[in-house]
């Protein structure tokens, strides 16, 4: 499932094909995504993409009269293909570029979205978002202040978009393991020192994953069609019952907010 590193990898993969290029036309084959795809997209013609940006797990295409907002959901992908490429199952939307290349949106589960908005920064999806995990604004002081008095388990707390964006199950699990913090520990009960380590590990795991081109666990394929390989060095995610990479203790798997959470009962407190 695309997490922040996959989205960033996708952004970098398709950037050369869309930024400062023109969208010749848009083809919609399936409009039933998380939200119905707007007809406005099909009326686009020779619209210049001035910029391709990422905010949280959203990709934002800056056009002259508005923005295309793309979210990959859990099974979505964007790929650049030639016009001769056969249309596959779940290929829902094509952005046909004026040089003949196609930016193709595929999403088997249709949990993703492709939106047309006038002003993304004031769109309800974006107004309540916390800082980017890799921005300087996301630091130990900030997270410690946010966590104060909060009783929610730290794992759910760092996966909550209003505290920090883009930290999904994989990276939350890994960062907590590396920080030696138990996923159920109340966010407000963690010392400043350990919060500092947690922030550092969130940044470190995300950066490493981006560097390596993202994690491929299920449906993800990068913009260039090449999968990432980060999953080979996961310490806890998806490893319930297997030995801890540090102490060989059998990793425990619990449910936290309906979400699988794996941790080492010896290393994490």
Residue found under tokens 């994953």: 209
Kindly tell me which of 97 and 167 has the beta carbon lying closer to DNA: 167
Strand partners, 116: 68
Q: For the chain, give the number of residues.
A: 269
- The one among 152, 175, 221, 267 contacting DNA by CB under 7 A: 152
Kindly tell me which of 246 and 260 has the beta carbon lying closer to DNA: 260
Give yes or no for residue 148 binding DNA (CB under 7 A).
Answer: no
Site for DNA in 3-42 (CB under 7 A): 3, 32
Residue found under tokens 């949280």: 56
- The one among 109, 184, 185, 204 contacting DNA by CB under 7 A: 109
Q: Is 255 annotated as a binding residue?
A: no
259 carries an active-site annotation: yes
32 carries an active-site annotation: no
Largest CA-CA distance found in the chain, in angstroms, rounded: 59
Helix axes 192-211, 4-18, angle to 10 degrees: 40
Catalytic residue among 3, 6, 8, 174: 3
Task: Please tell me whether residue 208 adopts helix, strand or coil conformation.
Answer: helix
Say if residues 100 and 64 touch (Cβ distance below 8 Å): no
Which tokens hold the place of 111? 């949990």
> Where are the extended beta strands (E) located within 72-196?
77-81, 91-97, 102-106, 113-117
We find the least distance from the C-beta atom of residue 253 to DNA, in angstroms, to be 9
- The one among 25, 40, 161, 196 contacting DNA by CB under 7 A: 161
131 carries an active-site annotation: no
From CA 54, how far away is CA 133, in angstroms rounded?
12
11 carries an active-site annotation: no
Q: Is 109 annotated as a binding residue?
A: yes
Which tokens hold the place of 126? 């974006």
Q: Is 182 annotated as a binding residue?
A: no
Say if residues 165 and 126 touch (Cβ distance below 8 Å): no
Kindly tell me which of 191 and 255 has the beta carbon lying closer to DNA: 255
Q: Determine what percent of the chain falls in helix, strand and coil, rounding each to the nearest 5.
A: 30, 25, 45
Give yes or no for residue 170 binding DNA (CB under 7 A).
Answer: yes
Q: Where are the alpha helices (DSSP H) in 19-69?
A: none
Catalytic residue among 31, 239, 259, 266: 259
Catalytic residue among 11, 57, 155, 194: 57
Binding mask 219-238 for DNA (x = CB under 7 A): --------------------
Give yes or no for residue 239 binding DNA (CB under 7 A).
Answer: no
Enumerate binding residues for DNA (CB under 7 A).
Answer: 1, 3, 32, 57, 71, 73-74, 89-90, 108-111, 124-125, 150-152, 156, 159, 161, 168-170, 257-260
Residue ranges for the known binding site are 90, 109, 150
Residues identified as active-site: 2-3, 57, 259
Binding site feature residues for DNA:
90, 109, 150
């Amino acid at each position: 499932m695309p997490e922040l590193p996959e989205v960033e990898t996708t952004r970098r993969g398709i950037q050369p094909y869309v930024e400062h290029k023109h969208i010749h036309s848009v083809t919609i084959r399936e409009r039933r995504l998380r939200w119905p795809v707007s007809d406005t997209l099909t009326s686009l013609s020779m619209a210049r993409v001035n910029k391709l940006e990422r905010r949280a797990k959203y990709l934002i295409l800056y056009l002259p009269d508005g923005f295309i907002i793309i979210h990959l959901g859990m099974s979505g992908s964007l790929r650049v293909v030639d016009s001769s490429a056969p249309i596959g199952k779940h290929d829902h939307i094509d952005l046909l570029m004026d040089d003949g290349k196609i930016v193709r949106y595929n999403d088997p589960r249709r949990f993703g979205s492709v939106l047309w908005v006038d002003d993304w920064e004031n769109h309800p999806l974006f107004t309540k978002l916390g800082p980017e995990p890799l921005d300087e604004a996301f630091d130990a002081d900030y997270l410690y202040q946010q966590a104060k008095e909060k009783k929610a388990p730290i794992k759910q707390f760092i996966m909550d978009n209003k505290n920090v964006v883009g930290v999904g199950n994989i990276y939350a699990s890994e960062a907590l393991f590396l920080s030696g913090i138990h996923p159920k520990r109340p966010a407000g009960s963690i010392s400043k020192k350990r919060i500092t380590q947690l922030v550092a590990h969130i940044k470190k795991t995300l950066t490493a994953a981006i560097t390596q081109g993202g994690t491929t666990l299920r449906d993800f394929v990068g913009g260039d069609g090449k999968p990432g390989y980060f999953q080979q060095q996961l310490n806890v995610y998806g490893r319930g019952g297997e030995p801890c990479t540090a102490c060989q203790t059998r990793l425990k798997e619990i449910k936290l907010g309906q979400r699988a959470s794996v941790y080492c009962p010896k290393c994490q407190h």
